[in-house]
Amino acid sequence: MFFIRICVTMGRQMTDDEILVFLYDSLKNPENVHFMPIINDRRVKECRVKYNNDKWSMVFDTLELFAFGTWEDYVRGRSDGRYLILNEEAFNLKILSLMSARKELNIGAIPYDMLYEKIGVEVGNTWDLEQIVIGAIQRGLMAGYIDQETKTVFIRNIVSRDVKLSEAEKLAEQAKSWCEKIDIKLDKMMTDDKQRKKKELAMAKHESEHQIKLNRVFNYVKADMIAHAGSSQSQPKTKKTKQKSTTMMTT
């Protein structure tokens, strides 16, 4: 990330004119995606209060456009001469607009036709559109690829842009609401888990008691069988006697 250093340069504090040049150069820097640190810098704020002419106003308006705006915002405001944008700045703004389009559309597969106007490319000019996408990928601002056959840009993830304070408050409320919903779900999950464990414990206890009863019955039957077998073996055996038979012969 591009980091602005405007407190001192070459061992001395920068002049206001040097700050102005530095601000304009930051718009052309391809590594610069987040402009809030620049806008919120103490010296920049001082210059913004001190100077109220077209030269400074154009730079400040362009900085805010690069921080929060898109190519469509630029088109709406350029007729008033508010912005200071040439070729290099235009290409950077188009990449920033692509990043915003991904968030706005909230889809990972974006047809070319949905991007032309949003990133300032003439409809049907696939070359320029693809160069912007490739530029964003090469700068490490997004992960994805282009399908030239279906004319679709596939974006897996993308670097986030600056957020206005008003939007940040809205996002904070959304995050708070999301956390509350998560807490409710977690509480329900914990309650369900406790109830499940309680049922499992009760079932295990019931099965244990049932097993104990079965063991008692089994032991009782076993003991009874052993006792019965023992009493049978202790009884005396009776001997069988053979009776002799006599045969009377008559003459």
> What are the tens digits of pLDDT across the range 165-191?
666 566 566 667 768 778 788 878 888
C-alpha 209/C-alpha 222 separation (Å) is 20
Minimal CA–CA distance to 230: which of 222, 219, 218? 222
Look at 209 and 107; give whichever has higher pLDDT. Answer: 107
Checking if the pLDDT of 1 tops 50, the result is no
At 144-161, the pLDDT tens digits run 999 999 999 999 999 988
C-alpha 118/C-alpha 97 separation (Å) is 7
Lowest average pLDDT, out of 18-27, 38-47, 62-71, 169-178, goes to 169-178
Residues 101 and 72: beta-carbon distance below 8 Å: no
Other Cβ atoms within 10 Å of 84 Cβ, number: 19
- By DSSP bridging, strand 12-13 and strand 8-9 are antiparallel
Enter the tokens of residue 120.
């300032």
Residues 129 and 114: beta-carbon distance below 8 Å: no
Checking if the pLDDT of 9 tops 60, the result is no
Amino acid code (one letter) for 169: E
* Sole residue written with tokens 């309680």: 198
Residues 96 and 161: beta-carbon distance below 8 Å: yes
Give the per-residue pLDDT at 176. Answer: 73
Q: What is the mean pLDDT of residues 206-225?
A: 78
How is the chain split among helix, strand and coil, in percent rounded to 5?
A: 60, 10, 30
pTM for the model stands at 0.64
CB within 8 Å of 7: residues ≥ 6 apart? 13, 14, 43
Checking if the pLDDT of 115 tops 90, the result is yes
Using CA of residue 174, residue 178, residue 183, residue 188, what is the dihedral sign?
positive
Look at 159 and 250; give whichever has higher pLDDT. Answer: 159
* Domain ranges across the chain: 8-158, 164-224
Percent of the chain with pLDDT over 90: 34
Determine the length of the chain: 251
C-alpha 95/C-alpha 159 separation (Å) is 11
Q: What is the mean pLDDT of residues 193-220?
A: 81
